[in-house]
Structure 1
Amino acid sequence: MIKGFIFDLDGVITDTAASHYTAWKKMSDEMGWDFDHKVNDKLRGISRMDSIQVILDHNTTSLSEEAKAELAAKKNDLYVASLENMTSEDYLPGAKELLIHLRTEGFSVALGSASKNAIKVLKQLNANAFFDVIGDGNSVSKSKPEPDIFLYGAEKLNLQPAECIVFEDAESGIDAAKAGGFYSVGIGPKERVGHADLRFDSMAEATLFEVKAHFKNLFS
């Protein structure tokens, strides 16, 4: 039986993609590197340091670990500054309604995000009350597609992976959910998250009713 839900943050609860893109773009422009939306899509769901490596590979460039860390910090400073403009109105359509519904029905809920700024984002959204456990980029050492962040959330909820449904908008996130033995709901296009157990184009469509209807044998 399903007892818990684990949510990715960016692209599921709120959309910080534009802020991330702007920060990566500014950093890349200053370095004289090519960076566009196609490269940015490859960064979805992965850690900051892994993102730097993707950008370096795209530009057939290499840097020392120290230099990469400096650039990652610079990008993060740009991104964090932009979060000050985020408010409780910045949930993706349907996300807050689903979180409220899960609270009403008594499900356990965890965050499973690669972001090291997740706590700041939740604070800006005024979303902390919806989560029993916060798993973020500081919680585990291996990021998606490794399942560690979801396994961390399930353990802290005192649940088995098979008792949890993961909501993800990234290919690497669905891969992580599958690797950990979780049920998965993909948010986004088929070519990105079509390998999830269930897929919706947007969070607005991903109501608890629809999820229960699909996984009907897993709800009492």
Structure 2
Amino acid sequence: MNTNNKLQAVLFDVDGTLADTEQDGHRLAFNAAFKQFHLDWNWDIDLYGELLQITGGKERIRYFLERYMPAELDKSNLTEWIASLHKTKTKHFESLMETGNIPLRPGVARLIHELRREKVKLAIATTTTMENVTALLKSTLGEESIGWFDVIGAGDIVPLKKPAPDIYHWVLDQLKLIAPQCIAIEDSENGLKSARAANLSTLITVSGYTRSQNFGGAVSILSDLGEPSQPFTHMGGVTLEQGWVDYKTLNSLINP
């Protein structure tokens, strides 16, 4: 096993990192589920930005009840009810994905194809559900793309969600790799905390909701992964030689 500054795997977050799914994907799906459950709740853009501080959809619903609808906490079988509401939301999100309205962020498809050519392992470490991951990959990269990823860590596969490092520990174990051989790509402070707690070098590509968060500890902070025709904006951390992230860039960042 070569541990000498040779990138073995890239671990991608999903929501906000692969695609800007939050504002016009998950938020709309939650609202559609509320309507189906005859609830007069509406998570507008600002409220959803606040709720994103809580990772995990079921956890987000519970937090919303505790903060804004405490009377609803008296429901019998509350946990089952939340799970059912969340399952309905996931179905609405999958439908949104199938329409192809949510594209991958700049540079994502290019980088994934290059990493495959370079025989670098691909993995996903996310708090979103496996159904959501599958729907996004199929709608953007095609049916076969699920098989491009050596490991997909998603949803409730570990008990503690980000900012806890559990999902990253789990993915590293499945890959049979150690943190210095890998890099994580994230868009949020909670994601960064999770990856750093697992000792992973972490590259941040900020998304609409996360732009003002604290990214201390990231190796580099960028607007996105960039394209040769559409360079990223550098926002902090290590300055990169070119305006797009490729295999060579990531390899240089694992031992900066």
Tell me, yes or no, if the aligned pair for 2:152 and 2:171 is still in contact at 8 Å. yes
1:194 and 2:225 matched: no
CA distance in 2, matches of 1:79, 1:193: 29
Post-superposition, which runs of at least 4 consecutive aligned residues in structure 1 deviate over 3 A? 26-30, 209-213
Distance 2:54 2:173 in 1: 21
Q: 1:174 aligns with which of 164, 189, 192?
A: 192
Structure-1 residue corresponding to 2:55 = 46
* Alignment of 1:56 onto 2:70: no
Q: 2-side partners of 1:119 and 1:142: how far apart?
A: 22
* CA distances 1:97-155 after superposition (whole Å, capped 9, x unpaired): 11112122222211112121212322333232432111111432321111111112111
Whether the 8 Å contact between 1:43 and 1:54 is mirrored in structure 2 is no
1:122 equivalent in alignment to 2:137: yes
For the pair 1:12 / 2:17, whether they are aligned, the reply is yes
CA distance in 2: counterparts of 1:98 and 1:45, whole angstroms: 29
Whichever residue aligns with residue 164 of structure 1, its letter is C
1:81 to 95, 100, 116: 95
The corresponding residue for 2:237 is none
1:51-81 superposed Cα distances (whole Å, 9 cap, x missing partner): 1123223414242223322322232222222
RMSD of aligned Cα (Å): 2.5
1:33 counterpart letter in structure 2: W
* Greater RCO, CA 8 A, separation 6+: 1
Q: Assess, with a 3 A threshold, how the Cα gap between structure 1 residues 100 and 33 changes in structure 2: closer, same or farther.
A: same
Alignment deviations for residues 197-217 of structure 1 (CA, whole Å, 9 cap, x no partner): 22111132351244445x274
Q: Tell me the SS of whatever aligns to 2:65.
A: helix
Partner Cα separation in structure 1 for residue 9 and residue 199 of structure 2: 14
Unmatched 5+ stretches in structure 2: 227-231, 233-243
Quick one: distance in 2 between partners of 1:166 and 1:94? 15
2:245 is matched with 207
Q: TM-score, normalised by structure 1?
A: 0.85
Q: Which residue of the partner structure matches residue 85 of structure 2?
A: 71
Size of the alignment, in residue pairs? 216
Corresponding residue SS for 2:89:
helix
Aligned to 2:152: 134
Unaligned runs of 5+ in 1: none
- TM-score, L = length of structure 2: 0.74
| Rg larger in structure | 2
